[in-house]
Structure 1
Amino acid sequence: MTDQTNHNWVIDKQYLSCEAQDMGIWCTKSLPLTKCKTEFLTVHVCADISFTASSCFFDAPFKSDIYYQQPTTLLIFGQQGYSTFSLSGSSNRCTVREGDVWLINVDDQELQRSTAAGLHSRMVVIKYSTQRINRAFNDADDICTLISGNKMIRLGHQEMPSRWVSELLENPMLSAADRLIAEARALELIARWLAPTQIKKLNQSSELQTVIDLLTEDLATTPSLEVLACKAGMSHTRLNRLFKMYHGVTVFDWLRNYRLQRACYYLKDPQRSITEIAFQCGFSSASHFSQAYKKQHGLSPSQNRR
């Protein structure tokens, strides 16, 4: 970790790696800056999975460049404030806010983080070797498209992070059994968050895949048809025509079906309210969600749960 001017930092293997004797041991680190308060509670559960709870307050804008030595997948839970992440050399960019859950897949680019001055930013990050996750799947599995290449996808919105990460934070890591439980929980979390986002793989053009990536990376912020067509390098009329050719529906009909597909998965969780699921899947209100769901399935979401 190298000090740069204007509070720019380079975070590389010196900061991210773990010695064999420290594997499975909680440790607290901080940045050696005089006008800030930082704390990183970190544990490397195993060689392929680590866990960090960070709490940062900077008197000046903070920027860092993060270099991973191998393809890496991050599952990020925003707890307080916000920080912005971007992938160098691309337009990929996301802002992790309180209650957000983001998946960031870093394949071959550096990850950049920016945090505003005077802002208390807290988040929990579970870091996986992408290769470790891929070992659980076949190349033909739909889920592989989510954890390949450089991607940023918002998986959750207005969540309670403690519901998901408290078990990891409270694990003392005192024994091999504790570490095995932590590894299992970390893998369970990413599996549970990835499951409702799977999209059936089709032999379609890269332009259409670009549009699908844009539609699904953040369901709370939907690009216009004009923006999608521009990104795909075609007119919106041709884009809708190609979507109907490959998917049988227009662009936004496909998006509505995808939102309802995700909603069906979330309805299996009795702890999630109808309103929570509605916002999670990008509907403007619970009533809008209920109307769309009933039109598609013949039952309201609450009736489907009975």
Structure 2
Amino acid sequence: MDSLRKTGPDVFQVGPQLLARLAGPESGWRDHALPRDDGAVRFRTGRIGPGISLTSSDCRLRGDYRSRIDHGGAVGVLAFGLSGTSLFGCGDTAPRHTVRAGDVWLFRLDDAPITRLTPAQERAGMLAVKFDLDRVGEALDGAGLNRMPGGTRAVRLGRSESGAGRLRLLLDNGLASPLDRLMAESAALGMLAHWLAPLAAARSTAGGTANSGAADGGALGDGERHGLARVADLLLSDLCHPPSLERLAEAAGMSHARLNRCFRKAYGRTVFAWLRDHRLERAEHCLREGGQSVTEIAFLCGFSSSSHFAAAFRERHGCSPAEFRQRRRDRR
């Protein structure tokens, strides 16, 4: 196990050269430790294929841990919360996003570092699957994760109670042989596709609805269209924790009453009615895909409980989520 030292008084700084040294040229996992007086930070790194690497971290802390990682290139980070809580930011001044156990986030870093704050706690674990954008940039663009101001993007993809089980395909892979690494590469790309698919479907529907709605409801000004695009982006970025109407209106640069009027003109619905429809559309997609329980899908799509999800789904489809899934199976 490599023992590292903190390179600054308050923040563990990791640049491109140190990242390359941590990953190492050889196959398999490499174990590292960052000694601390107030606990321990341990992490493992491994390369699994061209432009794809893994970092698994385990923090046990009596004080806060801060790090700043500069990848020296454009990357996408698929982050899985394994235990505890950590906060991540895309850039030094960007807002921090909370990653909890069971959460799945995607961070797109075009030209900014990723910062981490892990508060004092008994245990906080993460798995980060890092993709060079040369490999997955087109897929991210197709899911609506285009370059944002400052070159960063953070999206909460959802929450899955069974997520840790799927991760065993990576965490339990020794990465020792070419076949091991090929299997890990397949698993990593499959996970990325799995989590991007419903987001891509929602983005596609949002774009089509906006175009037809604007045509039917009258012309909107450029500023209004750009404001609505920012609002739709904020809502789709995290279906589970949408901003308040006041915060959305501030992002759009208009009052909340005007925002709802413009939104209805463009999309045919008010802001949160539109959000509810997209939650149900994403849930329908997940039910068709299979692999997740109804409860998992409910929380993934932002419903407060499985009963709330079932009631909303029945109102829209005339059947429960379980009945909808069974009918799909019966047709095959």
Give the TM-score, by structure 2 length.
Answer: 0.83
**Which deviates the most, 9-18 or 222-231?**
9-18
Aligned to 1:10: 13
8 A contact 2:39–2:60 mirrored in 1: yes
Looking at structure 1, the residues matched to 41 and 246 of structure 2 have their Cα atoms a distance apart, in angstroms, of 43
Aligned to 2:145: 146
5 Å-filtered alignment, 1:1-306, equals 3-6=7-10, 8-17=11-20, 22-88=25-91, 90-135=93-138, 141=142, 143=143, 145-146=144-145, 148-149=147-148, 150-198=152-200, 199-200=203-204, 201=207, 205-306=225-326
Looking at structure 1, the residues matched to 69 and 53 of structure 2 have their Cα atoms a distance apart, in angstroms, of 15
How big is the shift at 1:19?
Answer: 8.7
- Alignment: residue pair count: 301
Cα deviations across residues 141-172 of structure 1 (Å, max 9, x unaligned)?
Answer: 3x1x2253312111122533322210112222
Cα deviations across residues 232-276 of structure 1 (Å, max 9, x unaligned)?
Answer: 110122212222232222211110111011101221354422222
Greater helix proportion: 2
8 A contact 1:84–1:95 mirrored in 2: yes
Cα deviations across residues 30-66 of structure 1 (Å, max 9, x unaligned)?
Answer: 2244543222111111231101111112332111111
8 A contact 2:76–2:106 mirrored in 1: yes
CA distance change for structure 1 residues 304 and 161 in 2, over 3 Å: closer, same or farther? Answer: closer
Looking at structure 1, the residues matched to 42 and 72 of structure 2 have their Cα atoms a distance apart, in angstroms, of 23
8 A contact 2:158–2:300 mirrored in 1: yes
**Which ranges in structure 2 are unaligned for 5 or more consecutive residues?**
212-221, 327-332
CA distance change for structure 1 residues 96 and 19 in 2, over 3 Å: closer, same or farther? Answer: closer
8 A contact 2:78–2:105 mirrored in 1: yes
Looking at structure 2, the residues matched to 267 and 206 of structure 1 have their Cα atoms a distance apart, in angstroms, of 33
Q: Secondary structure at the match of 2:167?
A: helix
Looking at structure 1, the residues matched to 77 and 30 of structure 2 have their Cα atoms a distance apart, in angstroms, of 20
Cα deviations across residues 189-217 of structure 1 (Å, max 9, x unaligned)?
Answer: 01100111121236683312211222122
CA distance change for structure 1 residues 74 and 269 in 2, over 3 Å: closer, same or farther? Answer: same
**Which ranges in structure 1 are unaligned for 5 or more consecutive residues?**
none
The alignment's C-alpha RMSD in Å is: 2.3
Looking at structure 1, the residues matched to 21 and 262 of structure 2 have their Cα atoms a distance apart, in angstroms, of 49
The one-letter code of the counterpart of 2:7 is: D
- Aligned-pair identity in percent equals 39
Looking at structure 1, the residues matched to 146 and 42 of structure 2 have their Cα atoms a distance apart, in angstroms, of 29
Looking at structure 2, the residues matched to 212 and 238 of structure 1 have their Cα atoms a distance apart, in angstroms, of 15
8 A contact 2:6–2:34 mirrored in 1: no
How big is the shift at 1:113?
Answer: 0.5
Looking at structure 1, the residues matched to 32 and 232 of structure 2 have their Cα atoms a distance apart, in angstroms, of 39
**Which deviates the most, 286-295 or 153-162?**
153-162
Looking at structure 2, the residues matched to 179 and 121 of structure 1 have their Cα atoms a distance apart, in angstroms, of 26
Looking at structure 2, the residues matched to 91 and 261 of structure 1 have their Cα atoms a distance apart, in angstroms, of 30
The one-letter code of the counterpart of 1:236 is: H
